[in-house]
Chains A and B, each alone.
Chain A
Amino acid sequence: MTDFAFNLRDGWRKLAAPVDPVLLALLALLLGYAALVLVSASAERLGSQFVNLAVALVVMRIAAQVPPQRLMHLALPLYTAGVLLLVAVALFGDISKGARRWLNLGFMRIQPSEIMKIAVPLMLAWYFQKHEAMLRARDWLAAALILLVPIGLIARQPDLGTAILVFAAGFFVIFLAGLSWKVLAILFLGGLASLPLGWGLLHDYQRQRILTLIDPEADPLGKGFHIIQSTIAVGSGGILGKGWGNGTQTHLEFIPERHTDFIFAVLAEEFGLLGASFLLVLYALIIGRGLMIAGNAPTLFSRLLAGSVTLIFFTYAFVNMGMVSGILPVVGVPLPFVSYGGTALVTLFAGAGILMSIHKHRMLVQK
């Protein structure tokens, strides 16, 4: 009896060994909150979201197990495979809703751009680690190339949301690696100057989304509908919200995609400014924990990787909430750990697992 209990406890300890309890506790809080909101937005999806979550937790546990050293070896093959798959998508991908994002492997369909959210920062962190001793201009250019090749492939699918996330992930690696402020300033100004050029490269529907952001009322029943309705949902929530399950915008189906990309509108409508602020605090704590892990990481590789993974969480959260509250254009970015859907959840938990692994191995290499 005690044997069994001991075995159970021992088994749990082994299972939980690589897991960071602080990060896990914060994520658990966030997931509980998310479940509450999902029940209101689309209760019938709760079950399948639990299945998604189970898969994601397994992925996290595996990622947490893998030491950063091994991850480094994975960087080049994963990145190369990712780029090749993106090329394959461009050549043979399935078209759905006007975009070519999926690759049909016969037994399953995969979205290679999703891999790049991890593969690009991994690759960059590896590259900087390899050239740690001395970073010359051509190394920065190489880093830029590593970043821009997959971004280009993703952006032309087109999938602006993923492109932004991958870019942010890679950019944060380069930033954390210490690209000089001067160059950053030049890049920033250059970017501003080339905005008109970028406008020319955008697809019509992407331009439309930006125009819609600027003046959603110009087309209230068409393109502007999403933004107007989600903004109304957020604003009508007030300070305390309309109460769980009482959101009229939510339950009368005015909020589009209310269980996926626009789930924040449901939260803000029913839980008000208080609920939205609570969410911000949770995200801030999770990001803070991630940055702390990055700060304590032993190698450049793990520092950069941990920092950039953490900042992916931030990018997801900021872009999504900005879009739902009407300060950013509508791009397909889910609310991290909250929106319904398996793909993003798996990627995010893989990131969390990596963070945990880096945290666990913070002492090992220094010895």
Chain B
Amino acid sequence: MKPAEFKNPEQEIERFQGRLAATGGLVLAAFFLLFARFFWLQVVQHEHYRTRAEDNRIALVPVVPNRGLVVDRNGAVLARNYSAYTLEITPGRVHDLEAVIDELAGVIDIQPRDRKRFRRLLDESKNFESLPIRTRLTDEEVARFVARRYRFPGVEIKARLFRQYPQRALASHALGYIGRVNDRDLATIEKHGAEDNYRGTEHFGKTGLEQKYEFELHGQTGFEQVEVDAGGRAVRVLERTAPLPGNNLVLTLDAKLQQVVERAFGARRGALVAIEPSTGGILALVSMPGYDPNLFVDGISPQDWEALNTSEDKPMVNRALNGAYPPGSTFKPFMALAALETGKRTPQQSIADPGFFTFGGHTFRDDKKGGHGVVDMYKSIVHSCDTYYYVLANDMGIDAISNFMRQLGFGSRTGIDIEGESEGVLPSQEWKRKRFRKPEQQKWYAGETISIGIGQGYNAYTPIQLAQATAAIANDGVMFRPHLVRYVENIRTGERRAIEPEPVRILPLKPANLDVIKRALVGVNKEGTGARAFAGAEYLAAGKTGTAQVFSLKGGKYEAHKVQERLRDHALFIAFAPAEEPTIALAVLVENGGFGAQSAAPIARQVLDYWLLGKLPQDAAPEFEAEDEGD
């Protein structure tokens, strides 16, 4: 073992001092490094960081414009906005969503349906969007939440404008509805290059006019330059560019007429389209049953959605535009016109009707046992003689029929300002070739033409096509594109941009031929199948009844009360009035209504009574007037 080495205390202290000096040097060096860093950040890079601090602090927040109103031709409001408080959660800022909602439920009434709707919105949305858990908070609820706000980070009260359809289900299929923007809507927005204008917009027109005129109704988004905190909450507004509200839509539709129709339908299913023949403006567009578009505005609850979609009555289907029905006997006047125009018949040419027509071993029956006796064109329409049209159709052939009917708009979209209209089926040889695959099905059989003559067979048209064709006759062959919007109104400038009546085509119909058909149609309501419904009418109305088979009875006798309700025939009626100078033309269809004369014609009568005379049906209380006083 080495002898212990004693150290010199002086030397020891000297060394310690040396080490202290070294640490002192280290400290100074380290602090100089910090100083250099501060100098770099605060002097050299100052401008950069100052800008970034400003960027942090200042955010451009879109200010969503007020959506334009929809009013009827008399100014009655059909769609408007109201402002309400909503309670919203930003899922991205909340840890345990369920727990937060449970806790919120202790402060504000949250129903299971609210939760379900929220979950539905959650599935469709991005994490950083704030989603409503409750809408239309009362002032008391707002106060209760605000007092406890600190307990709920990521939950906010927001004042928002909501769409409201004050007439509820009235004209729902025409108006459509708005709902929250989804991916498909985003694609549409992108296609229009409107992304900037839709920043901040949460709702988008989904169907009906709300969809078709989305970009008119939306308006110009404004911007606010706001100071925001790290949580993105606005602290104060620095600058503001006001939004420009969307344009209002003034419709050709008459809400009161619409209501008369919807009341007349009651619980029955069906459709009615009423057109002003001289412009194509739609006066009433009814599809029954309707639905309450208000349900969709802040996200429809799953139960309501389920109920609407599984209902046997199919309230979401716009029957006026998407229901394709055989026109039944309402097709006859058009057949008669085709016969006159093509020279296949003169008005006076008559047949002796035995009550049936036999072709290729098959017997086509007439409604009336034993037949109508001697039938000319007038009588064939007034009494709706089937045999006359069996023979006529056979004489004309399918292609002559379809060529003429195409001119009247049958089997093609009318171009109404609502998306998704159906084409229907205008049967022709070519249509059949395209429609079927097997060669034996592709061939048109002459026997198939015969029932086409009475509006059965492959014939299938939408009620709006039928209404358009009726209007075409009423307007002497000048056809307009049916449309719902009369003006687009800029509420700032007051400027009204008219949607000009747009003649689709002018049919070169001979006035004498039109006269024959019109007289016959007037005859229907005076002495024919429509006479009962129009007894005592103070105006001259042209009309035609129709009954469309839903179910083939294979030659057996049709007894309405024995057939299941859903298999009963559809009842149809077309009309225009006053016959001399028509201001309204319509087509009405009552699903499973039985005979047209019984259930469809009386609805047409109510419509014409109201439109021409201002007469309301006796049982209908004028509750509507009171409701729209405030608007």
Contact = CB atoms under 8 A, between A and B. Distances in A.
Interface of A: 132-134, 172, 175-176, 178, 229, 231-239, 248-249, 252-254, 268, 272-273, 276-277, 280, 283-284, 287-288, 291, 294-295, 300, 303, 307, 311, 314, 318, 321-322, 325-327
A234 B235 contact: no
Nearest to A231: B41
Interface in B25-44: 27-28, 30-31, 33-35, 37-39, 41-43
B19 A175 contact: yes
B429 interface: no
B34 to A, nearest CB: 5
B37 A175 contact: no
B6 interface: yes
Given A236-B53, A248-B53, A325 B24 contact: no
B14 to A, nearest CB: 11
B379 interface: no
B150 to A, nearest CB: 13
A314 B54 CA distance: 34
Interface in B4-61: 4-7, 12, 15-17, 19-20, 23-24, 27-28, 30-31, 33-35, 37-39, 41-43, 45-46, 48-50, 52-54, 56-57
B42 A178 contact: no
Contact of B35 (A239, A252, A280, A300): A280
B17 A234 contact: no
Contacts of B24: 287-288, 291
If over half of A's interface residues share one DSSP class (helix, strand or loop), that class is named, otherwise mixed; here it is helix
B228 A252 contact: yes
Given A294-B20, A300-B16, 6 more contacts: A175-B19, A231-B49, A253-B230, A268-B38, A295-B20, A327-B33
B48 A235 contact: yes
B50 A236 contact: yes
B129 interface: no
B41 A234 contact: yes
Which 7 A-B pairs have CB atoms at the shortest separation, nearest pair first? A235-B49, A236-B53, A235-B41, A252-B229, A253-B230, A273-B42, A236-B49
Q: Indicate the member of B4, B17, B46 with the most A CB atoms within 10 Å.
A: B46
A238 B50 contact: yes
A231 B50 CA distance: 11
Contacts of A318: 30-31, 34
B27 A284 contact: yes
A96 to B, nearest CB: 16
A238 B5 contact: no
Most buried by A among B7, B42, B43, B49: B42
B227 interface: yes
Interface of B: 4-7, 12, 15-17, 19-20, 23-24, 27-28, 30-31, 33-35, 37-39, 41-43, 45-46, 48-50, 52-54, 56-57, 227-231, 235
Given A252-B56, A314-B27, A325-B41, A277 B15 contact: no
Contacts of A277: 35, 38
A252 B27 contact: no
Nearest to A179: B19
Nearest to B231: A253
Contacts of A248: 53-54, 56-57, 227
A296 to B, nearest CB: 10
B229 to A, nearest CB: 4
Contacts of A294: 20
Contacts of A314: 27, 30
Contacts of A291: 20, 23-24
Nearest to B15: A178
A252 B227 contact: yes
Contacts of A231: 41, 49
Nearest to A175: B19
A314 B35 CA distance: 14
20 contacts: A132-B7, A176-B19, A176-B20, A231-B41, A234-B38, A235-B41, A237-B42, A238-B50, A239-B42, A248-B54, A248-B227, A254-B230, A276-B42, A280-B35, A283-B31, A288-B24, A307-B23, A318-B34, A322-B34, A327-B34
Contact of B56 (A232, A303, A321): A232
A238 B229 CA distance: 21
Contacts of A254: 56, 229-230
A178 to B, nearest CB: 6
B42 A235 contact: yes
A252 B235 contact: yes
